[in-house]
Structure 1
């Protein structure tokens, strides 16, 4: 499974898988279904009020259809209702959030890709490209990721019971807070489950700087010891 490192609000990079072609197609179909429902409602209203000016109906139907994905991606931070239902999202290929310019570029090319040959061009581009990018993504420097739900760390997850007569290695650990411990635990999980050391190494340096700690202890051991020290000191 291909993954991409995405920067979180805590400036920690977390691995997310690229959205599958199936997820992207289903998200697209959900958006299409929403617009079909919208169209039926508009047509029903226009018939009930005996609308004479056909251009008004055409405008009310076509303008929202053309701008649908662009506006939703801008105001929903890379998602449309269909994308949200499928838990997928547009981000930059370097893992940072996409901006308005990126969405505009995707949208311009999408008008061609998604409406020519029933989206076959876009689908082939995603499959062949290797990074989950259609042509609009290639131009904008974006891709689409799968937002696998991140399980919140619980007290049971982060608590490591220290032994009797436990000796604290880093008394500065008491300066940490539960959010810090959750981030440390998450970085260790990523290293364990995905083999990605980047979050663990980044948070190790951040914590060392924050606490003023100098040690040659390997990062993984340092973080586990730090958790045990924190739990011991906060349980006194």
Structure 2
């Protein structure tokens, strides 16, 4: 394993531990066995239907070939960068910015997986030779699909994450900021605001949220009728918007 530091817009370096080739291979083996077991069940079910050859081929294509082909794509999108194999071994796919990969990044990884694994039902070792060679030569154990998509596979056992900072990805929404005055505060100030907001939400402490909201309004001369926690969430979102919109 090796560590990678990802700089954010808030002068904070996020440090992740990348997964090595062996553990990624073991995760692939688990996913391979899951797909193999599914294929066996489908074949048994189809054989019990006593269909003619044409109908059997169509049913197998619909129930086995297509689902197995899109297994990684669907699983990683639905499970936030994980598959059952990755989840069991505590790893996940993230973007090189530290965010959850976009759908297009997942799609690129999947398309290159098809290139890297040309034999869907071939010998057990053939589909993993190309990725293993690529990962072995990459400093962050990236396979070809990772290199093109701009993703890495990290260990989720590492406690640090982007959720622990003030970062919030506003790039995928048509967000409209409300308080431009927020840019008068520093990264340190906003991290403290998030820390206190998280504490207030966790403890259900409305008094603490009210104190923080009042202080921000007082310093920045903001007038707002938003509920205190909603106001603080908006402040954090606004800061993210103004900080990242030109990046």
* TM-score category, normalised to shorter length: 0.5 to 0.7
Backbone CA RMSD of aligned residues: 3.4
- Return the match for 1:54 from 53, 57, 71: 57
- The alpha-carbon deviation at position 57 of structure 1 amounts to 1.6
Residue 36 of structure 2 is aligned to residue 36 of structure 1: yes
Judging changes above 3 Å, is the alpha-carbon distance between structure 1 residues 29 and 146 closer, same or farther for their aligned structure 2 residues? same
Match of 1:74 in 2: 77
In structure 1, the partner of 2:218 is none
- Note the alpha carbon deviations across 1:155-193, whole angstroms, 9 max, x for none: xxxxxxxxxxxxxxxxxxxxxxxx99xxxxxxxxxxxxx
State which of 206, 209, 214 in structure 1 corresponds to 2:191: 206
Cα 1:7–1:33 shift into 2, 3 Å:
farther
Give the unaligned 5+ runs of structure 1: 152-178, 181-201, 212-236
Q: Which residue of 2 aligns with 1:229?
A: none
1:96 matches 2:99: yes
Instruction: Name the SS for the 2:70 alignment partner.
Output: helix
Q: 1:83 to 1:209 in 2, by over 3 A?
A: closer
The SS at the match of 1:78 is coil
Q: Secondary structure at the match of 1:37?
A: helix
Whether the 8 Å CA contact 2:2–2:19 is kept in 1: the answer is: no
**Structure 1 residues 70 and 7 mapped into 2: Cα distance closer, same or farther (>3 Å)?**
farther
Does structure 1 retain, via aligned residues, the 8 Å contact 2:46–2:59? no
1:18 paired residue number: 18
TM-score by length of structure 1 reads 0.60
Alignment match of 1:142 (pick from 145, 151, 169): 151
Residues 16 and 148 in structure 1, CA contact (< 8 A), matched pair in contact too: no
CA distance in 2, matches of 1:113, 1:36: 19
Structure 2: which 5+ residue stretches go unaligned?
120-125, 166-186, 197-247
How far has the Cα of 1:56 moved from its partner? 1.8
- Do 1:73 and 1:79's aligned partners in 2 also have CA atoms closer than 8 Å? yes
* TM-score normalised over the length of structure 2: 0.57
Counterpart of 1:27 in 2: which secondary structure? helix
Q: Give the whole-Å Cα distance in 2 for the aligned partners of 1:74 and 1:38.
A: 20
Q: Counterpart of 1:79 in 2: which secondary structure? A: coil
Q: Report if the CA contact (8 A) 1:107-1:136 is conserved.
A: yes
For 1:209 and 1:33, the matched residues in 2 are separated by 43
Is residue 5–residue 94 contact of structure 1 (8 Å, CA) maintained in 2? no
1:45 equivalenced with 2:71 (yes/no): no
Post-superposition shift, 1:205? Answer: 7.0
The Cα offsets for residues 92-149 of structure 1, whole Å up to 9 and x where unpaired, read as 1121211100000000001121346332111111110112211111110001001115
Aligned residue pairs total 163
